[in-house]
Amino acid sequence: MRVAPGTEAREVARAAAQWLALLESGEASEADHVQLKIWRDSDSRHENAWQKIQSLRQRFSSLPAELAMATLDRPDLARRAALKRALGLAALVPTAWLISRQLPLDVWRADLQTDTGEHKQTLLADGSILQLNTASAVNVDLASRQLTLVRGEMALNVLGGAALTINAPYGRIMLSRSEVCVRLNERECNVAVVSGSVQLQPLHGPALLLQAGQQINLQASGAGPVSAFDAKMPGWREGVLMAQNQPLGDFLRELSRYRSGLLRWEPALESLRITGSFRLDNTDKVLALLAASLPLEVHSRTRFWVTLTPRKNIV
């Protein structure tokens, strides 16, 4: 039986917490360290959970220390038991926070969802084509002709029939015989019309009509200005990331959406410029291409922990 995505992710988070508690107990053997490395390298989700729980653990680091100090004058067995209880609590707190923050309930329950780096295309019962980008989730209710974007980015191509409505945190998008891309960011929702036209109803302000080749950002305060984009340029729907004289920092922030684990770079690389078309199905290859064309080096601590630094001059 296949494990539900939400349940599987929660089990990974719990496993990471258990590994952390074992290491900090001081009782981990050399074999345990080897097994931890095997576990981290075996799945990108494992490495993601490990890095996140390490970061969270630092926020709660004072808890075990305080409890440990309170047991210094007790016999060894009592001290060890108290420390184990402290470690268990310290592991539990970041695990619960990680589960609630990274796997919110509405994402668990979404009808369709994708993991980091995954792209999914679905033919809906009415013939419409729905595409989900990396780390996205959507609910589909064709009976009421509505879709709700819960997280991430989607594209919807309505080929015919009755209009469909896309619900987003900052407004509604209504379309028929049109194709639209909708992306949720932290404080706004970007709507871009690929073909046809769509009707927008922001949370605040009047409704407006958006034509093919136009895009707009919906925010809590209303709709921003309409701007143009090239609807014929390949994008994530074709598995491509485009850059036109783009600052490298902006490019890497976008690329990191498609990579599991940590991607970091030194501030000195932010202002380098990048132009090109890059396939998203192999982000390691993208980083190798950057290293071949720009003065930077790629350092991989593990498959899921990569740092970019300026290239050192060799005399």
Q: Are 96 and 21 in the same domain?
A: yes
Q: Are 122 and 206 in the same domain?
A: yes
The neighbouring-strand residues paired with 167 are 148, 172
Which residues have CB under 8 Å from 110's CB, separation 6+?
137, 138, 139, 150, 151
pLDDT at 72: 35
Where among 103, 133, 149 does a domain terminate? 103
Per-residue model confidence as pLDDT tens digits over 119-175: 999 999 999 999 999 989 999 999 999 999 999 999 999 998 789 999 998 999 999
Mean pLDDT for the stretch of residues 78-92: 48
Residue 234 lies in a domain: no
pLDDT at 5: 44
Which residues have CB under 8 Å from 206's CB, separation 6+?
none
Q: Are 117 and 15 in the same domain?
A: no
Q: Are 52 and 138 in the same domain?
A: no
Q: Are 87 and 12 in the same domain?
A: yes
Residue 233 lies in a domain: no
pLDDT at 104: 57
Residue 244 lies in a domain: yes
Q: Are 88 and 120 in the same domain?
A: no
Residue 315 lies in a domain: no
- Which carries the bigger pLDDT value, residue 28 or residue 223? 223
Domain CATH number, residue 197? 2.60.120.1440
User: Could you tell me which of 135, 136, 128, 190 has the C-alpha nearest to residue 165?
Assistant: 128
Reported as a pLDDT band with limits 50, 70 and 90, residue 81 is low
Residue 14 lies in a domain: yes
Residue 170 lies in a domain: yes
Q: Are 95 and 158 in the same domain?
A: no
Q: Are 224 and 273 in the same domain?
A: no
**Measured distance CA(155)–CA(236) in Å, rounded:** 10
Q: What is the domain range of residue 97?
A: 5-103
Per-residue model confidence as pLDDT tens digits over 243-255: 999 999 999 999 9
Where among 103, 125, 153 does a domain terminate? 103
In this structure, the strands spanning 305-310 and 262-265 are parallel
pLDDT at 16: 81
Q: What mean pLDDT value characterizes the chain?
A: 82
Q: Are 213 and 285 in the same domain?
A: no
Contact 9, 42 (CB under 8 A): no
Task: Give the Å distances, CA to CA, from 149 to 123, 143, 190, 206.
Answer: 17, 17, 12, 22
Q: Over 60: is that where the pLDDT of 82 sits?
A: no
Q: Are 60 and 138 in the same domain?
A: no
How is residue 310 written in tokens?
């300026």
Q: Over 90: is that where the pLDDT of 307 sits?
A: yes
| Percent of the chain's residues with pLDDT above 70 | 79
Q: Are 262 and 218 in the same domain?
A: no
Reported as a pLDDT band with limits 50, 70 and 90, residue 109 is confident
Q: Over 50: is that where the pLDDT of 292 sits?
A: yes
**What is the model's pTM?**
0.69
* 231-260 exposure pattern, b = at least 16 Cβ within 10 A, e = fewer: beeebbbeeebbbeebebeebbeebbbbbb
Reported as a pLDDT band with limits 50, 70 and 90, residue 314 is low
- Which carries the bigger pLDDT value, residue 302 or residue 190? 190
Per-residue model confidence as pLDDT tens digits over 20-53: 777 777 778 888 888 888 888 888 888 888 877 7
**Measured distance CA(122)–CA(134) in Å, rounded:** 14
How many structural domains are present in the chain?
3
**Measured distance CA(259)–CA(26) in Å, rounded:** 33
Where among 78, 103, 128 does a domain terminate? 103
Q: What are phi and psi of 224, to 5 degrees?
A: -85, -170
**Measured distance CA(42)–CA(31) in Å, rounded:** 16
Q: Are 224 and 137 in the same domain?
A: yes
